[in-house]
Amino acid sequence: MGDRKGESSTDDPQSSSGDAAPTGILRAFVEAVPTPTLVCDPETLTIRAANAPAADLLGHDRGTLTLMGLPDLGENDVTVSGESIADVAASAAAPPASDGSDGPIERFEWDIRLGDPGLRVDAALRAATIAGEEWLVVGLSDVTGRVAAETDRDAERRLVDALAETVPLALFRCTEEGTLSRWNGRLSSDTGYEPESLSGRALTSLFDEETSGLVSDSLSRVYREGEPASCEAQLLTRSGERVPYRLSLGPVTDGDRVVGAVGVGEDLTEASLREERLAVLTRVLRHNFRNDLNVVTGFTGRAIEAVDDPDLVAELERVVDTAERLLRLGETSRKVERLLSQRPSPRPVALAPAVDAALESLDPAVRARATVEVDVPEDLAVSAVAFLPEAITELVDNAVRHNDADEPRVRISAAELPSESWTSLVVADNGPGIPPAERAVLTGEETPLEHASGLGLWYVNWIVTAGGGSLDIAESKAGGSRIELSLRAAEGNPPEDAELFTLDDVEGGT
């Protein structure tokens, strides 16, 4: 090669030297390349030519670039992988193979500028013969945006992974084919499979033959309809143990297309055992509670008949009243347990038949103690759970039992509210009203020292809210209590047999 020193101009350092022709050819060469390109001396790595895209990318004019060496372009002279720029360039500038094939292309990424904003380039170095001499051609491309996006994705993925491992539930993702592609440690722990054994495994294969169809149906709904789905199935662990398991699945979409599913799995073993033990405990306590209180009321009734002392009779009658109140409390607790276990869903309910069913189930002795007026239009239908008649029965029963008026009266009325989306059902009486401690049930102000004496209002409130409604307590015009149930208007028509709505429908095989 000729002498490549003697630079005299910032724009064309070789214009007055003997290398003017080669330099002009180099400039013409790089100008013909549309992407950022440099040409370097393979021995000294001095930059001899640069095109405009390279100048724009590197932030130097071409004259300045031809005064620099290739390693001087960056804030450090090593690649992202830690190799020296000079060593990589030396490998690229190696003599061509004896068979005449092209020399190697050395590729690497290089942080030209650190910090924010930084600049990372993808560089490709290759030896080339230009104007009869060997040169090192350097192609550059800006990969800063890609690296920033990858960094953000990595940070987001680390955050998601950290959250996934923190949540005490199994989290996973499935492909379009329903096979596992990602999961957290809890799923591996629940199933007993090593992580590598879960990769590519069909989700349905983790469940026993009897219930895997439920999982398959839920997945199909997610993929077909793009809607969340859930089910309870028996997880079949690697050791063959069957575990009660709840799955909640949701779609992963790309535009309008479902491309996978995400899911949450929960081991229900502890919950099932707890529910079973509580059910046994409740059943035994309620049975003994009822039997023993019946004994109390029976013997107390006989005592009342055997004594002549009015004061003693009054005290014994108070014992009977207390025992009967506790019996009603036990019965209400049974109803609450049934409500919580069945988790009923709202359905269209014809309001007038529901009120009729409620009054029919009222204790005849209680019903006879008060005048009950009903003003409920036949065409009103609400969205409520099937236990709505029991809530109405509870309100009327309380209104009569606690009414100390000379002529107890209870009025049940209903009307469609102006919004047309809600219906109001009101139970009002002329009794003493509801004590503040009982009202605190609805306001959340109940305290350990001042609390409600029963479950009645709790039960009514739970029934109403289960159907999406609300309950409000106020004073009636007669000075007693006025309890208003705000119920959502039914979106559809009640079943054809709505007029046959009876207590048997409510009991539901309990």
pLDDT in tens, 5-45: 333 334 444 433 345 556 788 889 999 999 999 999 999 99
Which architecture, in CATH terms, is 346-507?
A: 2-Layer Sandwich (3.30)
Phi, psi of 501 (to 5 degrees): -65, 110
Q: What CATH number is given for 20-141 in this structure?
A: 3.30.450.20
d(CA 233, CA 263): 14
Number of alpha helices (DSSP H) and beta strands (DSSP E) in the chain:
16, 17
d(CA 170, CA 25): 65
Beta-carbon neighbour count of residue 510 at 10 Å? 11
**Torsion of Cα atoms, 399 then 405 then 409 then 411, to 10°:** -50
Domains 20-141 and 167-267 belong to one CATH topology: yes
Measured distance between the N- and C-terminal CA atoms of the chain, rounded to whole angstroms? 101
Q: Which pLDDT does position 279 carry in this prediction?
A: 66
* Strands 229-236 and 242-254, bridge-based pairing: antiparallel
CA 462 to each of CA 395, 427, 468: distance values in angstroms, whole numbers, following the listed order: 13, 17, 10
Residue 200 class from Cβ within 10 Å (0-12 exposed, 13-18 middle, 19+ buried)? exposed
Collapsing DSSP to helix, strand or coil, 53 comes out as helix
What is the sign of the dihedral through the CA atoms of 401, 403, 408 and 410? Answer: negative
DSSP for residue 245:
E
Please list, residue by residue across 18-49, b when 16 or more beta carbons sit within 10 angstroms of its beta carbon and e when fewer do: ebeebbeebbebbeeeeebbbbbbbeebbbbb
d(CA 99, CA 368): 115
Q: Which residues pair with 156 in a beta bridge?
A: none
Q: Amino acid letter at 407?
A: E
Residue with tokens 């001095």: 46
Q: Which pLDDT does position 275 carry in this prediction?
A: 66
d(CA 73, CA 93): 19
d(CA 354, CA 356): 5
DSSP for residue 199:
T
Specify whether the CB–CB gap between 207 and 247 falls below 8 A: no
Q: Amino acid letter at 212?
A: S
Please give the CATH superfamily to which domain 167-267 belongs. PAS domain (3.30.450.20)
Q: Which residues pair with 341 in a beta bridge?
A: none
Q: Which pLDDT does position 98 carry in this prediction?
A: 56
What are the residue boundaries of the structural domains of the chain, listed by start?
20-141, 167-267, 274-333, 346-507
Structure tokens at 129: 């013969």
> Chain-wide mean pLDDT for the chain?
82
Specify whether the CB–CB gap between 231 and 204 falls below 8 A: no
Query: Which residues of the chain register pLDDT less than 50?
Result: 1-18, 446-453, 497-510
d(CA 420, CA 295): 52
Q: Amino acid letter at 487?
A: L
Give me the helices (H) in 234-372, please. Answer: 269-306, 310-342, 351-360, 364-367
Q: Of 328, 333, 462, which is closest to residue 400 (Cα–Cα)?
A: 328
Structure tokens at 341: 């276990």
Q: Which pLDDT does position 442 carry in this prediction?
A: 61
Q: Which pLDDT does position 264 carry in this prediction?
A: 94
Q: Which pLDDT does position 453 carry in this prediction?
A: 47
DSSP for residue 42:
T
d(CA 59, CA 457): 76
Q: Which pLDDT does position 194 carry in this prediction?
A: 92
Residue with tokens 């790309």: 254
**Residue/partner pairs of 79-82 with CB below 8 Å, 24 or more apart:** 79/108, 79/109, 79/110, 80/108, 80/109, 80/110, 80/111, 80/120, 81/108, 81/109
Specify whether the CB–CB gap between 230 and 218 falls below 8 A: yes
Q: Which pLDDT does position 101 carry in this prediction?
A: 55
Query: Which pTM value belongs to this model?
Result: 0.46
Residue with tokens 């707890």: 274
Q: Do you know the residue count of the chain?
A: 510
